[in-house]
Structure 1
Amino acid sequence: MAKRASSKSPAAAPSTSEVMMNELIRASAGTGKTYALVQRYLWLLERGVEPERIAAMTFTRKAAGEFFERILQELATRGTKENGEAAIALLRKMVRRMDRLRLGTIDAFFMAMTQCLPFELGLTGQTGLMGEEDFVQARDEVLDSLMLSITRIDDRSMLDELREAWKDASHGHEQNRPAEALSSWCNRLHQLYIECSDAERWGGESVIWPDKKAGLELIPALNRLQSLLVLGTFDKRAQAKWEDFFLEVATLPVTGKLGGTVQYMMDSKRGVHADLRRGTDWMMWRKRMLTPDEGSALADVLDAIVVAVLKTHIRRSRAQCRIMQMYEGSYHRLVRGRGRLVFGDLAWLLSGRLGAGSGDTWESVRTAVEYRMDARYDHWLLDEFQDTSERQWEVLSPLLEEARQDVAEERSVFLVGDLKQSIYLWRQAEPEIFHHVEHTWAGNRLEITPLNQSYRSCPQVIEMVNTVFLEAEPVLEAMFPGIGHLWAYEEHRCSTKVAELSGHAALIHVGGEGEEKEGDADTGSDPLTDAVVTLIREINPLDRGLSCAVLVRKNDTARLMSDTLRARLGVEVICESEETVLVDNPATLALLSLVQLSVHPSDTLAWQHLSMTPLAAQLEKEEISPALLSARVRREISVSGFLPVLRDWAQQLRDCMTATDAFTERRLTQLLDFAAAFDETGSRDADDFLRRARAHALREDAVGARAIQVLTVHKSKGLQFDVVILPELQGEALDTVTRNRLFVSRSPRGGVQWILDKPDKIIIDADATLKAELQREQARRAFEGICRLYVSMTRAKLALYAITAERSRDSSRNEAGLLKQRLGATEPTPYAMGALEADCLWETGDRRWHHHIPEMPPVHLPELARTEGPKLGDLLREVNATVQRRAPSGEESFQLTGKEFASPAREVKRLHGVQVHEMLSLVPWLESAGDVRHRWQERGYDLDSAAAQQAWEVLQEPSINAWFTRGNSKREAWVEKRFDLVTGDGWISGILDRVVLETDGSGGYTSATILDFKTDEVVDEAALLERVQGYVPQLKLYHEAVQRLAGLPAVSVKAVLIFTASRRPWSVDLTAR
């Protein structure tokens, strides 16, 4: 009988008879999740598994880096012990094969899968991920292109379709800024459309209400009610209300809006709608019994109102789908299809939702991708499994299924997660997948291991966590119906490592108006903030060598809190929320104004700003005018780039200042780092530089810092702190649904079932289907909120403080309400909080616990003598000479005149040339291209345009047509081939329009012909010869590149210029030049 092998077994020699077990670990917070992953990885290595056959993945680069670091540390530690030779050998193997390891994020793994078969996935060009700024710019370009394309073509059908879709999508909710609304829709709905592009699911009545019967028409129902009601039997105010009601109902089909009186009449306070048909008291200002006929008529009108309003929202939903269909077509053609991706695209591409078509074609692509990945990895380790989304699981599950069902039982899957830490449901993380794996994999070499013993928190913190969550399921279900099947909690215990620690945990309620001090007006003083300041002053964590974190829910709260603590405590405070670091200080703002002036010489605001900075004296001394300064900086940027220019001006700024502090120096360094990164793109666009710089956000790294940390609960996940303070526990109820304006009904596993523009709650309450969907959303939101509370409480090691304050309007169903219900059974006791009135609603441990930890005296390090040495830049230049980058397209010997350069016609000609090149690049060979013109039309090109006609005429020209005809299988073509080549003369970087290569049939090249398309309009033979001579330097660079790329001698590489306007090829002999 085969022996069962698990990572929990003691290390042993490899055995061919071992059965490799799969494992699912339910790891509560602080119970050693990372340790379990590291041990599993090492356990596999010890059994002879090659490290590159193991795929270990998590969701963040930080967690992946920590995982890899812990593996190396553990191997190094084992290597120092007796008989540690094997560990040292494994450490050497890991380091040597570092570049081949799959230790990273799921997104990085998906990117590697995408790059396996980019063309099969419908991608062209170099595949890469866009940053946030690039994505925003790409999205704007798509919208601009869409608007231009539909307004320029003669066929107005697409424009009419967009206009009608816009009218429908905004019906009843008219917009006075359509461009902004359209951009917002595209940003908000694009990913949802990719996930569900089935138009029938966007407002599809038969999908949402499959059993619903046709309702009454609104106007006939209203007429019947008016004929039955005798208004004179009501008092005057009621009569007026009825008349307003009749008017608003009559105009409802036109306006699409619920008037105030309609909402008043539909309010459940008026009476139970179900009882109307039996006759009932109708609560207005005075009760008045409605007859059964009157009640039935009113019920019919109310039902018809619901139907009419829902029709408006159905109309909006369908229209939004049509708009997204148009947007997605342009986006795929202009952005994604060219290899410019965002993280969200990866899973959709690999699951067949984008790019590769459908049916047998996609199945063959999917099989090829899965085969390559499956053949590469035998063991799969996934961290934070509860955060996996349905679309990610759709890609990963076939690979994991192959491993877990391995017939030889030599492959394995290892999953670690905790449903109680599911705080990313808003990113479509689906905890139901965890349940699915747990149930469907049961018994198939699967071990399920719960980890509830904390190695992080002291007994006092664990006691507070247990008191709140242990056996709380009935309470939570009563507060938030539907949460019961999602939330489960087992008692936490302290390990021996932390069982002897002594700390404190408390729920503190603060009253009064807070501590009011001079200067606090701009630092967010309020009772909660005052309590946080008082606690930190009392504990004095930094001087005691303790880490301290203030955890909040929102990024804005984190920024305000960090500014407040920094101002009032006078200590280093690090905010781990992203901050726009280049616009929060005077120094970088001055340099950005300098760049602004360079591209906009008449910008008086930028000039006045510079005139108020320390640079003003120098500018006045040199008598530099705005125009002169603008021209000078603009010229320097054009020649050298942004980094050298800003570095020089930053030094001049320092020289003009008496002193700079550490904060200013850090910000100047960050500006220069940003400029260096921008220069890498090769762009000299100052407007683009400024736009990106002003939006450039960074998160300050707190690793090793002696500082108070302020961060959101989401950013704190996976971290621990000696002291944790929770001041943001009040506000909206945990089950408040506010994030989206759509109903997105999902299956238990997260797949989209239907989508509907969300109506008002009064309409939702009147429809059973929508009400059930709202309750499902509320249960998930409440579950996510409870998970967030659990995560925040379990970050603490020694002390945990939950703080609430008096609020005139507060919900009893938020985090504070839940804590008070679970912890507030004892009598409050006074709690010393400086000048604040505070009560302790619950506590455990010693309030003076921190007094047992001595304060550390400040360490004064001797100042080191500064010696001037060679600068790093000079040393690097001595070792590595700078390579001058050259582009063949810039090598023409002729130059444009200033008049030609500034001419509006030049841009028209440039766009014409780009389109001709793009259309010709879509024809690798005429034999395999099919209907070329139809293919151009599918890509969005106007067949009646001058560019399309010119490209088509080029393909029909017999002297050119031969270069687009393969003829035999021994010909190859490079189309729009990018290249970078370092030669003795520098770095050549360019794109070859088309190269036709003859092969010997065995993979070797025998000759090559460079085809370079030129859309110049030449009037006579003399002008043609002049142009040919001007392009010779460019062709020489192409000639040299093709020689190197194809491994051919110079005589075997020909060059032909093709002038598309005259359809004339011109051979250029470069070997004699």
Structure 2
Amino acid sequence: MKDNHFISASAGTGKTYALTTRIIRLLLLGIDPASVAALTFTRAAAGEIFNKLAGRLAAGAADNGNAAEKLSREIFTSLPKWQDDIIRKNHGAPLAPAVFAETLRKLVATQHQSFIGTLDSFMWRMVRIFPLELGFTAAELRLMDAHESEQAGAAAVAQILNATPRDADEFFEDFRAATQGDGGKTFFGELAEFVKRWHRHRLDFPNEPSWGDACAIWGAAGMPFAKNADAIAAFETAVANAPEFADRRESFLSVCKFAREFNGTFDAPTPLKNMLENWTPAGAIGEFNCDRKKTNFSSKQQAAGHALLSHLLATALEIRLKHTAGLFRLMTRYEAAYAGTARDHGRLVFDDIPRKLATLGDTERDLLAFRLDSQIRHWLLDEFQDTSRAQWNEKVNRPLVREALQENEDNDKNWRSVFVVGDAKQSIYGWRGGDVAIFNEEKERPEYTRGSLTESYRFGETIVETVNTVFTPTAIQAYLAGGDAAAGAAERWGKIWEEHSAAPKKDGTPGDSGQVVLTTFQKDAASERDEIDVCADNIIAELDRTKPWDKNLEDGTAILVRTNDEGKKLAEKLSARGIRVAWEGESAIGDCPVVAALLNLVRLSAHPSDKFAKRHLAATPLVKAEAGAAAIAEEFSLNNARLGLAGALRKIIEENSGSFVAMAGAADKFTRARLDALLLAAAQFEAGAGADTHPDDFAAFVEASRRRDFADPTVVKILTVHRSKGLGFDYVIVPFFEDEGIDSVSNPKSPIIADDWILENPGKNVTGADSVLGSADDNMRRGKILENLCLYYVAMTRAKKYLSIHAKNAMNKDGKVSGTKYFSTHLINRLGGIASAELTVFTGTGKTETPANEKNAGDAEKIELPAVPKRKTPSATAKFFTREIFFDGTEKKNAGAAENVSAETGAERGDRLHKELQKIEWFTTTGIMGATGTGPSSTSAAGLGACAFSEEILKLFAKETEFSRAFEKPDDAAGEVVLWREKSFEVFIPVDENAGEKKSAGEWLSGRFDRVVFTGSYSARRAVIFDFKTNAKLEGEGDAAFAKRMVEHYAPQMALYRKAVQALCGLGADAVSSVLLLTETAAVVPVPAA
């Protein structure tokens, strides 16, 4: 009576449908819902399973549109005879709506006992069953959130640093070994980076011999290379001083110098790299280039070269082995401290759970297995390709499933089963521990009846054909040709690939074929714009043309990106162009000026002397001056004590809604959503607060908190490919932003990892010279390449009707395609060739068809693409001076060029003076304020030198002049004075057609203000833009002529600055003025509006 199934389900083929059908069949067979465990990878997937299950039963119970008959037919299709007989006997056939209603009632009634959820939550239940056996009390067990976990890590670090002097000395020695003795960053920065990178590895490899032990890596023989102190001198004699290499002597001497100073990193001279590439561990050095000359060594010279290379490799490996051992000791100290402050007290994260369960003794494990085994009779495992080794461990989950797999009783109600479904082509969570090898290993077990789902119900023939064309094994093999790792990844892909097909309609006719569009983009090497900027223009033009928000698309439009940074930046670009988008990835609550101000209010209430928080609040509409900031902080502190943190925040939000509107620019949904998220975070913070919790901790809690914004179908969603997994959208846009090829996945900071050892990465020069390290590195690279292929597959299988691909054009300036293995190049080669900004549409027959908007004018209405704004930087509008050159070739010298700076270029001098002037907040009678950010920097002009000001700047402020008065703080009793220093800006100014402006794309302004001073309030608000100019006068040029020339030269730049301030602050043209501060003549020169 075995009924175990292992299903490989390609994208869109009905995996959830198969799972829910299986559960309904079990319930109809009389199985108790509480004895069915349906486990998946994410909470979203678990929710989808339960919702789809309840939804199908509810539809069958309601019998709308013959739903009961349809569901009955689905239940009986391909059902084993013995199960068919039982269901027919108990419920009749076809199944009536009343049967589904009763089944739904049973499901809902036992929902509190349900095992439909994530594998992590299931294991958490196990921990709660046996807390005492795991060393906990039930009362202290709880899961930590990201903020609390970070705090626990910080407490562990603090415990290490507060160790006894002896322990501290040992710790510092281990840390120096781990960081190679290089404290390039701050100590705490280095420590935090290493803890984050290495602690998980310490948990995966808990035994010291796995870390930096040569015998564990290479066996009893140890390291394959030998150090030789005489190798460098021997090489210098045999090669560098050889007469036949006299013309290359300096290059070979540089090799010797590098070898003597070698620190374990192969940042080597080119001849040494070429020698290494043509060297075999057996000792031979083939022909290589040195100084662009073919070079061949004699047998004696090869022996000398072999000894030198062996010495360098042995030195590099010795250093890495020592560092790796030091890392183990360092992480062991951290692990002991972390366990003592968090884990041993029942404060866990999900990663701790499987490891804790694995520590159960045999007796406890048997009791746990008996308890679960007697309750759970049927296992359904979803998204099995993402299961990790820790979750599929030999002491907990795996034995339970294997026992159910092998035990099947003849009794109808006691039979057991396992149903596994997944897709190796969608294994994209390797970075979280997911191991697709588990999927492949389990699939081969003989107890399963294996099956596959390849018929897509999500997308039609055109998308199916596109997916098959791009991902067929022969195409992937050609794309990844060259290199063992890439070839190995292609081979693995071939083993998991299955051709896709499109499911027909219910009446047997073909479904909608869909549409696929390929557009290319290319970054101009001379432009400051990056790939996202360039591609965003194409996406904007496409969305303006297609207008999906007007098409009533039930499942909406989505743009899929690889990283959070890509998604947030793209969302900003599209929003600035007026397109309604929602970033559905994780974003920080604090990415809003209103929330930032409230967090500083919390800080100031806890620390009244916090000047930064006080000045920030004083610059907001909440208060009018620093004194007001202190008062509002004191009031907030009292409300916090009386109402709690969430109550105090809610009170100030409700009382100051008008001020928040002024800060946000409008009562926008974004700000409202962030304020709601802040209040929720405050409630969560208070709920988890301990005796030692301080208000300061709330800011860190908010910074660690993340939220996701969700959109209705009329809004364009932007989300990561990982987030899109399991979802489908009517219209999907996939931009491929690629800095490197798919095979360039080896992170030099990632260690080399094998089954039973780990080693700090010594670099490709070392791994390439040793078969053991090379094999381990290639295996890791194969896995990463395969994961990238899976990620691209997931991205291209989310669309139901329309798939738009934006691929990077990798053609260089010579018209040749880059040899880098960009996936974009593969897409272009397979789907239509390089055609910048052209659309290629694939029909169901696979033929290329010209889009309607590119046909003859008589065939279709011409579609006019929207104008794309050009990015303007005010500094680029300044006119260029033509240098005056005498006929003898010497350059005419500026009259004001001081002799003591003659060695400094004009650009260097200008940059230096700008940086010094940017330090100045205000100039007072007692000196310059704000040079160090802490108040008056001196009490006299002579004392300014202590703040590292140059003599040129000191002269400008030695006495009260028009120039120094420009830096005085205005006495503005009518409003608040706000100062911007070195403030970057990015603003889009749309066309004002009501003002009679010519129709265009508007203006996109980007730049940086040197200094802007705001005075007044409300309608009397004014802004003065001060721009520093360090130009020198020409020979014989008077002060007045110089000032006039500067105004003419910089008038366009200042006009754009004024326009930017008007747009950013909502000020009228007459409320913004601009001034040039000329360091050459200490003059203040107004620049009138045109």
TM-score in terms of structure 2 length: 0.69
Q: Give the deviation of 1:611 after TM superposition.
A: 2.5
Asked whether the 8 Å contact 1:276–1:292 carries over to 2, the reply is no
Q: Give the deviation of 1:242 after TM superposition.
A: 2.6
The residue aligned with 2:255 is: 245
Give CA-to-partner distance per residue, 1:78-107, whole Å, 9 cap, x none. 112372212111111111111111111111
For residue 393 of structure 1, give the secondary structure of its aligned residue in structure 2.
Answer: coil
Give CA-to-partner distance per residue, 1:924-958, whole Å, 9 cap, x none. xxxxxxxxxxxxxxxxxxxxxxxxxxxxxxxxxxx
Q: Give the deviation of 1:384 after TM superposition.
A: 0.3
Q: 2:462, 2:854 → 1: CA distance?
A: 14
Q: 1:212/1:52 Cα in 2 relative to 1: closer, same or farther (>3 Å)?
A: same
Give CA-to-partner distance per residue, 1:409-450, whole Å, 9 cap, x none. 6100000000111111222211111221121x22x2x21111
Asked whether the 8 Å contact 1:737–1:777 carries over to 2, the reply is no
Report matched runs for 1:910-921 at 5 Å. Answer: none
Asked whether the 8 Å contact 2:459–2:502 carries over to 1, the reply is yes
Report matched runs for 1:522-537 at 5 Å. Answer: 526-537=533-544
Q: 1:819 aligns with which of 815, 824, 827?
A: 827
Q: 2:286, 2:598 → 1: CA distance?
A: 76
Q: 2:438 aligns with which of 416, 433, 437?
A: 433
Does residue 645 in structure 1 map to residue 648 in structure 2? yes
Does residue 30 in structure 1 map to residue 12 in structure 2? yes
Q: 1:260, 1:297 → 2: CA distance?
A: 18
Q: Give the deviation of 1:502 after TM superposition.
A: 4.1
Report matched runs for 1:865-1014 at 5 Å. Answer: none
Unaligned runs of 5+ in 2: 69-95, 813-817, 841-845, 860-1090
Q: 1:502/1:538 Cα in 2 relative to 1: closer, same or farther (>3 Å)?
A: farther
Does residue 775 in structure 1 map to residue 778 in structure 2? yes
Q: 1:168 aligns with which of 177, 195, 199?
A: 177
Q: CA RMSD in A?
A: 3.0
Q: 1:381, 1:300 → 2: CA distance?
A: 59
Q: 1:601, 1:558 → 2: CA distance?
A: 39
The residue aligned with 2:145 is: 131
Give CA-to-partner distance per residue, 1:654-694, whole Å, 9 cap, x none. 14457623332222222222222222234662201122123
Asked whether the 8 Å contact 1:504–1:847 carries over to 2, the reply is no
Query: Aligned AA for 2:622?
Result: L
Q: How many residues align?
A: 790
Q: Give the deviation of 1:241 after TM superposition.
A: 2.6
Q: 1:327/1:513 Cα in 2 relative to 1: closer, same or farther (>3 Å)?
A: closer
The residue aligned with 2:27 is: 45
Query: Aligned AA for 2:821?
Result: R
The residue aligned with 2:546 is: 539
For residue 343 of structure 1, give the secondary structure of its aligned residue in structure 2.
Answer: coil
The residue aligned with 1:406 is: 407
The residue aligned with 1:1055 is: none
Asked whether the 8 Å contact 2:809–2:834 carries over to 1, the reply is no
The residue aligned with 1:142 is: 156
Report matched runs for 1:334-483 at 5 Å. Answer: 334-352=341-359, 356=360, 362-394=361-393, 395-408=396-409, 410-439=415-444, 441-442=445-446, 444=447, 446-472=448-474, 474-475=477-478, 478-479=481-482, 480-483=486-489
Q: 1:41/1:671 Cα in 2 relative to 1: closer, same or farther (>3 Å)?
A: same
The residue aligned with 1:550 is: 559
Deviates more, 1:493-502 or 1:20-29: 493-502
For residue 820 of structure 1, give the secondary structure of its aligned residue in structure 2.
Answer: helix
Q: 1:587/1:524 Cα in 2 relative to 1: closer, same or farther (>3 Å)?
A: farther
Give CA-to-partner distance per residue, 1:772-824, whole Å, 9 cap, x none. 22221221111111111111111011111211244577554122122233334
Q: 1:66, 1:792 → 2: CA distance?
A: 20
Report matched runs for 1:729-744 at 5 Å. Answer: 729-739=737-747, 741-744=749-752
Report matched runs for 1:51-130 at 5 Å. Answer: 51-81=33-63, 83-124=96-137, 126-130=140-144
Q: 1:699/1:515 Cα in 2 relative to 1: closer, same or farther (>3 Å)?
A: farther
The residue aligned with 2:328 is: 321
Q: 1:282/1:667 Cα in 2 relative to 1: closer, same or farther (>3 Å)?
A: closer
Query: Aligned AA for 1:64?
Result: A
Q: 1:172/1:590 Cα in 2 relative to 1: closer, same or farther (>3 Å)?
A: closer
The residue aligned with 2:680 is: 673
Does residue 196 in structure 1 map to residue 205 in structure 2? yes
Q: 1:363, 1:584 → 2: CA distance?
A: 50
Q: 1:372/1:675 Cα in 2 relative to 1: closer, same or farther (>3 Å)?
A: same
Q: Give the deviation of 1:695 after TM superposition.
A: 3.3
For residue 246 of structure 1, give the secondary structure of its aligned residue in structure 2.
Answer: helix
For residue 482 of structure 1, give the secondary structure of its aligned residue in structure 2.
Answer: helix
For residue 212 of structure 2, give the secondary structure of its aligned residue in structure 1.
Answer: coil
Query: Aligned AA for 1:398?
Result: P
Give CA-to-partner distance per residue, 1:106-131, whole Å, 9 cap, x none. 11001001111112113345111100
Q: 1:492 aligns with which of 485, 491, 500?
A: 500
Asked whether the 8 Å contact 1:271–1:282 carries over to 2, the reply is no
Q: 1:524, 1:307 → 2: CA distance?
A: 42
Q: 1:829/1:267 Cα in 2 relative to 1: closer, same or farther (>3 Å)?
A: closer
Q: Give the deviation of 1:625 after TM superposition.
A: 4.3
Give CA-to-partner distance per residue, 1:856-905, whole Å, 9 cap, x none. xxxxxxxxxxxxxxxxxxxxxxxxxxxxxxxxxxxxxxxxxxxxxxxxxx
For residue 392 of structure 1, give the secondary structure of its aligned residue in structure 2.
Answer: coil
Q: 1:50, 1:34 → 2: CA distance?
A: 21
Q: Give the deviation of 1:562 after TM superposition.
A: 0.8
Does residue 710 in structure 1 map to residue 718 in structure 2? yes
Q: Give the deviation of 1:476 after TM superposition.
A: 5.2
Q: 2:296, 2:743 → 1: CA distance?
A: 37
Asked whether the 8 Å contact 1:129–1:340 carries over to 2, the reply is yes
Give CA-to-partner distance per residue, 1:296-350, whole Å, 9 cap, x none. 1111111121011100000000110111111111211221010000011111112
Q: 1:77/1:848 Cα in 2 relative to 1: closer, same or farther (>3 Å)?
A: farther
Report matched runs for 1:682-697 at 5 Å. Answer: 682=689, 685-697=694-706
Q: 1:830/1:572 Cα in 2 relative to 1: closer, same or farther (>3 Å)?
A: closer
Q: 1:174/1:149 Cα in 2 relative to 1: closer, same or farther (>3 Å)?
A: closer
Q: 2:261, 2:454 → 1: CA distance?
A: 61
Deviates more, 1:767-776 or 1:549-558: 767-776
Asked whether the 8 Å contact 1:574–1:709 carries over to 2, the reply is yes
Q: Give the deviation of 1:572 after TM superposition.
A: 2.3
Q: 1:336, 1:800 → 2: CA distance?
A: 47
Does residue 559 in structure 1 map to residue 568 in structure 2? yes
Q: 1:495/1:602 Cα in 2 relative to 1: closer, same or farther (>3 Å)?
A: same
For residue 759 of structure 1, give the secondary structure of its aligned residue in structure 2.
Answer: coil
Deviates more, 1:132-141 or 1:592-601: 592-601
For residue 510 of structure 2, give the secondary structure of its aligned residue in structure 1.
Answer: coil
Does residue 216 in structure 1 map to residue 226 in structure 2? yes
Asked whether the 8 Å contact 2:807–2:827 carries over to 1, the reply is no
Give CA-to-partner distance per residue, 1:949-989, whole Å, 9 cap, x none. xxxxxxxxxxxxxxxxxxxxxxxxxxxxxxxxxxxxxxxxx
For residue 536 of structure 1, give the secondary structure of its aligned residue in structure 2.
Answer: helix
Asked whether the 8 Å contact 1:523–1:560 carries over to 2, the reply is no
Q: Give the deviation of 1:604 after TM superposition.
A: 2.8
Asked whether the 8 Å contact 1:548–1:724 carries over to 2, the reply is yes
Give CA-to-partner distance per residue, 1:486-513, whole Å, 9 cap, x none. 4432221111139331421132223586
Q: 1:227/1:591 Cα in 2 relative to 1: closer, same or farther (>3 Å)?
A: closer
For residue 542 of structure 1, give the secondary structure of its aligned residue in structure 2.
Answer: helix
Q: 1:177, 1:848 → 2: CA distance?
A: 60
Q: Give the deviation of 1:351 after TM superposition.
A: 1.9
Q: 1:86, 1:493 → 2: CA distance?
A: 35
For residue 57 of structure 1, give the secondary structure of its aligned residue in structure 2.
Answer: strand
Q: 2:181, 2:292 → 1: CA distance?
A: 30
Query: Aligned AA for 1:648?
Result: K
Q: Give the deviation of 1:632 after TM superposition.
A: 2.6
Asked whether the 8 Å contact 1:744–1:753 carries over to 2, the reply is no
Q: 1:812, 1:604 → 2: CA distance?
A: 51
The residue aligned with 1:591 is: 598
The residue aligned with 1:612 is: 619
Asked whether the 8 Å contact 2:54–2:104 carries over to 1, the reply is yes
